[in-house]
Amino acid sequence: MAKVGVLIEIENGEVKETDLGVLTAACKGGGNEVFAIAMQENTDAAASVLAEYGVNQIVQVVTKGGDIKGSPDFETRILAEAVKNFELNALLGLASAKGRDLFARLAAFMDVPLVSDCISIDLDAKTVRKSHFSGKTVATLKVESELMLCTIRPNAIEAQTMPVQAQTVVFEAQAADPGLTKITDVKQSTGGKVDLTEAGIIITGGRPIDSADNYKMLDECAAQLGESTAVGASRAAVDAGFAPHSMQVGQTGKTVSPKLYIGCGLSGSVQHFAGMKTSKVIVAINTDKDAPIFNKCDYGIIADMYDVVPVLTQVLKEQSD
């Protein structure tokens, strides 16, 4: 039985939904001892969810050494201390903005290799899978270090409940803030309420969206598809000024892995697919029956998106009323 730590991201008192898949990977059907490391003093609201997803120990970090949220270097040192204190064999986290930043710092600080953005993980074999060359190949990598340090692509691993008795452990970290960097301001992206990389459903508009204003049609549909839905854009739409770059999906945009990806007016370019090909179900709406996207999707609708999307929105609205 391995001891596996998971860095938990808590927002407004709630565990991020995308963390639940990471917990599923960590507990491996109950075969491992799972430590949820929460960098905050109060984890009460999150405790029941963590226990539902296989966490044995909820590690609540307390410190007198500085402000955890304001200093990623300080957070790194606390994490390193927790890894040693709980004698963890692996530490996992989300390949989110926070995870990508912290795990890279931790790898450098502990001098341990990091595998980022994994799409699956085998903790017994110490192997991970991740996509390479803009999604053209998937590599299986063997981790040779004693400690496995990995970030997991949001939504790549399906969350499964594994109810256990969880206990909360207060961990008083001794580390001090080295004062190297300080977060002074956090700005939310303008691309929408839900972060594209963590959205459960994405509806994307391509070049024929034709104006920034027409994204309202997709926003309205997204509102009916549920609160974990985000709206994306192709590079053609971004380059034309219809959407900000923060909404771009693809090789030079964001890499996403939602449960459902609805592409409206996308031709299906390799560069766009590089960013969303690991989506669980892909639906394409395109007027051209020969569009390449129809060879790569699970469901194809040969129709005008301006006809289909409003009908979809209306049907979803009627179902929820």
Q: How far is the CB of 16 from ligand FAD (least distance, A)?
A: 25
Helix/strand/coil (H/E/C) assignment for every residue in the chain: CCEEEEEECEECCEECHHHHHHHHHHHHHHCCEEEEEECCCCCHHHHHHHHHECCCEEEEEEECCCCCCCCHHHHHHHHHHHHHHCCCCEEEEECCHHHHHHHHHHHHHHCCCEEEEECEEECCCCEEEEEECCCCEEEEEECCCCCEEEEECCCCCCCCCECCCCEEEEEEECCCCCCCCCCCCCCCCCCCCCCHHHCCEEEEECHHHCCCCCHHHHHHHHHHHCCCEEEEECHHHHHCCCCCHHHEECCCCECCCCCEEEEECCCCCHHHHCCCCCCCEEEEEECCCCCHHHHCCCEEEECCHHHHHHHHHHHHHHHHC
Q: Looking at 5-13, 55-63, 101-109, 203-211, which segment touches ligand FAD (CB under 6 A)?
A: 203-211
Q: Looking at 105-113, 149-157, 169-177, 264-272, which segment touches ligand FAD (CB under 6 A)?
A: 264-272
297 binds ligand FAD (CB under 6 A): no
Pattern 147-186, binding to ligand FAD, x per CB under 6 A? ----------------------------------------
For ligand FAD, give the closer residue by CB, 160 or 251: 251
243 binds ligand FAD (CB under 6 A): no
Q: Using the rule CB under 6 A, which residue among 206, 222, 255, 282 binds ligand FAD?
A: 206
Q: Looking at 31-39, 116-124, 171-179, 270-278, which segment touches ligand FAD (CB under 6 A)?
A: 270-278
Beta pairing partners, 132 = 137
277 binds ligand FAD (CB under 6 A): no
221 binds ligand FAD (CB under 6 A): no
266 binds ligand FAD (CB under 6 A): yes
Closest residue to ligand FAD, judged by C-beta, is 250
Q: Using the rule CB under 6 A, which residue among 7, 8, 231, 237 binds ligand FAD?
A: 237
Whole-angstrom Cα distance, residue 237 to residue 245? 9
287 binds ligand FAD (CB under 6 A): yes
232 binds ligand FAD (CB under 6 A): no
For ligand FAD, give the closer residue by CB, 95 or 276: 276
Residues that bind ligand FAD (CB under 6 A): 206-208, 234-237, 248-253, 265-267, 269, 271-272, 275, 285-288, 291, 304-306
